[in-house]
A and B are shown apart, each in its own frame.
Chain A
Amino acid sequence: MFHWLEKRPFFFAVGVFVVIAFAGLVEILPNFAQQSQPTVGTKPYSTLELTGRHVYIKNSCNACHSQLIRPFKSETDRYGSYSKSGEYAYDRPFLWGSKRTGPDLMRVGNYRTTDWHENHMMDPIGTVPGSVMPSYPWMFTNLADVDTAYAEQLTIKSVFKVPYSMGDEKILIPMEDGTSETVEIATTLAGANAAALEEAKLIVADMKNQDVKDMVAAGKIPEIVALIAYLNSLK
């Protein structure tokens, strides 16, 4: 049979393809039949948080930081409760990472504050002596791209039915304490920018850098503010 195949490239290629596609069919298809179901209390990202998530991706933070807490005592002691599948239901893409040059960040919002991040992103080694993390001063001057985050929100709402409330349409998201909440997105681009700016004002209230404060007061959002909004949302 193999000698026969070796003289017939077409059937050879078909044979190879069937053999290599087999595992994918068995492993991946069943998992896709059931969409990722969010756990109770998991909300989609707000406009500013998603903007910050893009800053996180732009700078490949995931090259050194994982977002996956494995079910070991040493990990839950260090980082908090182990990860559940449904907590990632709104993560497109997933950001588990594959290397912990720095610590896991899955629940960093539980134990770090806005001003800690502000100091740390500007001077990591001064904040944590012995760290090998570089500093990210450009995030304090580069402007965040709210437009793209808003475009992504509109896309995932219409294509993947992510439960964003918009205009008169209210979609309730169940919370752990039995109540429910909504995550609003604006109906226009100008509205999205205004909403992100309101979120940014809450963040800079806890920051010290005067240039950043001035920029937000002038209606501009530096990347660092968006990033901190995202990191604070990781719980």
Chain B
Amino acid sequence: MENRPLEYDYTVAKMFMLTTIVLGIVGMLVGVILAFELAFPSLNTVLGSGVAEYTNFSRLRPLHTDAVIFGFTLSGVFATWYYVGQRVLKVSMAESKFLMAVGKIHFYLYIVGVAAVVVSLLMGITTSKEYAEFEWPIDIAIVIVWVLWGVSIFGLIGIRREKALYISVWYYIATFLGIAMLYLFNNMEVPTYFFADGAGQAGIGAWYHSVSMYAGTNDALVQWWYGHNAVAFGFTVPIVAMSYYFLPKESGQAIYSYKLSLLSFWSLMFVYLWAGGHHLLFSTVPDWMQTMGSVFSIVLILPSWGSAINMLLTMKGEWKQVAESPLIKFMILASTFYMFSTLEGPIQAIKSVNAIAHFTDWIVGHVHDGVLGWVAFMIMASLFHMAPRVFKKEIYSKSLMNTQFWIQTLGVILYFTSMWIAGITQGMMWRAHDAFGNLTYSFVDTVAALHPYFFIRGVGGALYLIGFLMFAYNIYKTWTVGRQVEERELTNATPMAA
């Protein structure tokens, strides 16, 4: 037993790979529909007025954000954990019946949760808090899913052979702890069905309805402490975990600097949580918190760039791989977008810039250059690296990967450039005064000015979706008709058919 290599068990990883792809398609498709609904409002009733309630922009919008965050991204995080965790801890899931069962229950309960979320959001059952729209019964299910993932992480760590935890594991642990803390505190709510006892008459109204424990300004403060850090621990921390594992593996290069990864990790943990206040600039939360939010957002450039530079310098002397391998291209562009997005964010958090940017499409653009350029590119690259090892097959088509890369890159560029222009245009129009001190534009003037940018954004999003469908097709074909490969072909660079 000790003398032959471990056989890792990817059963659970495969299941989450499937949901990554399926929910990615759903989330991005809904996003494209939303984009075109803004460009052409008549599309809101495209399936007829009878079902307009369910095809309407406002009903679909939370479905888009949640499908991408909790569907696509989280599935990607789980899929990579169930792959990376075993390999860096040098232990197989097959060694523990308990952990295997936990992993499977984790997956099936997650599917139940996803189904409940889709149905409830379409019905308009929502708490209205962004990325925390779910009512209390779903919250409880989510907490259970999360605890199961925690059991899986710490269970696997408990039976590990490699004693030192690799950098990626640090980031997965932080993801688990961070989201647990944020989610619990932001979703403190009182179910009205059970507490409506003012006149001794519990059991009134909808059983799933709840009311927030916090009111007004306090509620906003907790929500954006959560909202911003859901981005931190959903869209940054676990994605960094992926890049620390998959880039060195794929390129065969050691991480450039261990010290830089240490510095980046601990400073990211400390700094990120303060930055939520930048969502509340010029609001009614205390001024010192707004200032802290602004200042720490600037400081946040350091740990973010620390990780990104560590990635880029890992390729030192091996830049030819970027030209040769589409998989390395995805990862390097992801790191580059990470640098770009973590510079853009702090700029928007500067008070005078935020005065123009807040409430406009520039913010939407920022989110998407981060998520499309960094998060989704890194997740797709990870799955491309995993697929041949999980299925023991060669990637179906390298040229399709290259085509996908360029189509999606073009899509991202169209997306964020159009949203920059839209956001800054509208921000400037809102504040324009004429020579007599009157507002120059009515609100609807500033909406009409955005039409061309809404259209370009829709095209950018559609290109990205087309690229994602190519990705799904490529993985599917790899699984079904890819050439069988030997273990020795899977050491570093992923095998790809032309």
Contact = CB atoms under 8 A, between A and B. Distances in A.
Do A and B share a complex? Answer: yes
Interface of A: 2-3, 6-7, 9, 12-13, 16-17, 19-24, 27-28, 31-32, 35-36, 57-64, 66, 68, 70-75, 77-78, 83-103, 125, 128-138, 145, 147-160, 166-167, 187-189
B155 to A, nearest CB: 11
B279 A98 contact: yes
A203 to B, nearest CB: 21
B450 to A, nearest CB: 8
Interface stretch (B52-60, B368-376, B479-487): B52-60
A77 B219 CA distance: 27
Given A19-B269, A89-B216, A134 B56 contact: yes
Chain A: interface secondary structure? Answer: helix
Nearest to A167: B199
Contacts of A75: 430
Contacts of A103: 443
10 tightest Cβ-Cβ pairs between the two chains A and B: A88-B216, A148-B205, A23-B273, A58-B124, A134-B44, A151-B205, A85-B284, A154-B198, A154-B196, A100-B359
B359 A74 contact: no
A193 B173 CA distance: 50
Given A9-B173, A151-B192, A74 B62 contact: no
Contact of B185 (A24, A73, A85, A102): A24
A90 B215 contact: yes
Given A27-B225, A137-B49, A64 B359 contact: no
Interface string B27-61: 00000000001100100110001001100111101
18 contacts: A6-B164, A7-B164, A7-B165, A19-B266, A22-B273, A23-B273, A35-B215, A57-B128, A59-B58, A63-B57, A70-B282, A73-B433, A88-B217, A94-B215, A94-B223, A134-B52, A154-B192, A155-B190
Nearest to A99: B359
A7 to B, nearest CB: 5
A188 to B, nearest CB: 7
A129 B154 CA distance: 58
B286 interface: yes
Chain B: interface secondary structure? Answer: helix
Pick from A22, A77, A152 the residue with the most CB of B within 10 Å. Answer: A152
A145 B205 contact: yes
B218 A36 contact: yes
Contact of B262 (A2, A17, A160): A2
A71 B282 contact: yes
Interface stretch (B104-112, B174-182, B382-390): B174-182
Interface string B136-173: 00000000000000000010010000011100001001
Given A95-B128, A145-B205, A27 B292 contact: yes
Contacts of A125: 41
Interface stretch (B206-214, B330-338, B408-416): B206-214
Interface in B432-450: 432-433, 438-439, 443-445, 447-448
Contacts of A64: 57-58
B41 to A, nearest CB: 5
B57 A134 contact: yes
B114 to A, nearest CB: 19
